[in-house]
Structure 1
Amino acid sequence: MQRLDGADSIPAHLAGGIVALGNFDGFHLGHQAVIGAAVARARAEGRPALVATFDPHPILHFRPDAAPFRLTTLDQRERLFAGAGADAMVVFRFDAAFAALTAQEFVERRLRDALRVGGVVTGEDFTFGRARGGTVATLREYGLRHGFSAEAIAPVTLDGEPVSSSRIREALVAGDPRGAARLLTRPFAIEGVVQHGDKLGRTIGYPTANLDMGAYLRPAYGIYAVRGRLEDGRVLDGAANLGIRPSFDPPKELLEPHFFDFTGDLYGRTLSIELIDYLRPEAKFDTLDALVAQMDADCLRARVLLAAHKPA
């Protein structure tokens, strides 16, 4: 799996490929349908399969002060695209110069000249170019002119509604990670490097691995049953506080998983934390004894829930 800059000329062995085109943040059921169609067509025609995404997200270019909303990092997307059968991920860097490209310039400079595409697959609602001047219809017109095909995939629905990144965000903000997982086909996962904290957890028998939330969407603050995955493949069950730790001063936003029956040093290691179930909102406790008693209950409940939710 190669990661390529969308402004550069594509390597010869990837020219003429079928490109799935979209943002694909989350890689949910709808995204999987688009990328799956591109991969299937590429295999049928003996062509490379590529996925093109945008980074940073266009919203951040036009609204740099927007609240964090990402569902996946580029690294996560790369692994998900590879798992779906793509040969390469193309990253279009969304900056002022890119935003200024007209729909025609985007097609001619990026799709025709740089990627030398053989075909494009995207969603029916995809727009592109300055002021969103390009649609699937115009993409088909440009394709006929420049020698590539363009195919649009209809939205995927679940429970009578289209699957979308917005719908996933709404579920997570509402404290419904199971609902989000149905749309994603996997648990929502926050990935980061374990950092040193104030080590308060170990003084009360609950050592934690502290992760910064970065650019990820902020799900409902509270206590979660979680599953951690290490780069070496180990899977760790636990319970985590996601929020500002109201029982401690000063407030500090963190994701703090405690892993059951685990001893070891995780500092500096990359860790992926899957939110499996929402247990309760954050709460402030008057005494450490009251806090520990609640944590005992939370961990017991998390163990039961995780036992019924086997890792993929």
Structure 2
Amino acid sequence: GLSGAGPSGRRVLSRVAVSHVGSPLGQSRWRRSLVDTSLSSSSSSSSSSSSSKDDQGLVGKLAALQGEVAAQAAASSNATSSGGLDREGFTSLQRRTFDSFVDFFASEDATPPEVVPRLERIAEAVADGSPSLVVDVGCGTGCLVPFYYDAGVAPESVVGVDLAPAMVDKAASRYPSSRFVAADFTQVDPVEVLGEGTKADRVVMNSCFANFFSQEEALASAATFLKNGGECIISHPLGEPCVSALRERDAAVVPHELPTRRGLDRLVQYQPFQVLQVEDVRGDPEDPFNADSSSGFYLARLRRVAHQTLHQRLCLRGQVASGFGRGSRKLGFPTANLPSSLFDTALEGLQTGVYCGWALVEGSGRPGFGVAHPAVVNIGYSPTFAGEENPEKIVEAHLIGDCGFDSDFYGETMRLCLVGFQRSEMKFPDFGTLVAQISQDVEDAKVALQEELFIQVKDAEEWLDGAATIKDSEGLQGASWKTVPQ
């Protein structure tokens, strides 16, 4: 099933080994069989020998790459993440690559005996806590599925997602009791995969985390699929040495490394995840294709949380501007808006996304004024509104619950104190999906603001008595801001 798969054994190997645990990397004999099969029948034995030596030389370069792992894992620019391809080209390459090898991945050869204990360990981590719904991202032909079953996960509880349709079709035929969806995980609406109002207990990214266009996007998507308290599991049975070797051979297919613990902490800094565990065995960088005890292994567990506590809470004070009318008219969530231009350059480096905190509209003697209200706040450009994106970064605050206002408060002065970060700003496929996510954001903010630390902030003087004033200049209208350590 590998004939015509590629012009050289080296190229074939770099593609085959990328995203699926049942790769031929368990033993060097699988690597040799791929090289031999993909070479032209007219190739001489000396050519095969030269190819083998070249392979060993490339593997030897892994040691020099180890120091770059954290930086490569944290890379987020499109050019770096996709090896120069735009998203459409990158996705097309991934889809073609893995659809080409569906027969191999469905064969017994795809799961060497030496790799089986590692797959069992990964499946046991997934099954820990008896999850009722597992989303297997980059599921391929279903290599991990029987291990889930053996670990106690019910077949009907497994949903596989893969962007390669032929892989998905094969998985569905092999494991008809589970469900499989052909889709780009970072672009698909969770409702299309899970159904209305359903969230997963586990999202598993096994042997595919190095292959996403953006690892940050992959984690943000995982957060939308998971219920609070659920886990995202990132794993690879042969670990970082294998991934690094493959990236060296074809960075267009493998644009990232597996993150170190420090790299993973950076990736989730503005994601609603808490890192629980990172098992990162680097093994022998000179022989990453050997599945004996000296080779690598990777297993990271991240818990989905309602928010990340900000290291410094951000206090803002400014005049409420009339927005685009989208919050109340289109979405049913009225917002009070503060343009970033009010705050000079203070918000330029601030992560776009959804925050939670407290809001107060200055004044007294009128219902709702002069009282701190819980708020969920989006800071960003509203990318879902195609053609109507915000021309500048906007602070959009939705005050939660019945706040008692008997009129709008455009032109009034509002104070905000942001204490937690809930998720990155995302572009949703339609307004319905956006509304559902905003509803979840509101519920998450309610939960977060019940924490004792945040309740104490509600009455803290540093934001109720006014923030440090920015020097007045044209367009600032007396706005002010400051940060306070949590």
TM-score (norm 1): 0.41
TM-score (norm 2): 0.27
Highest CA radius of gyration, 1 or 2? 2
- Larger relative CO (CA 8 A, sep 6+): 1 or 2? 1
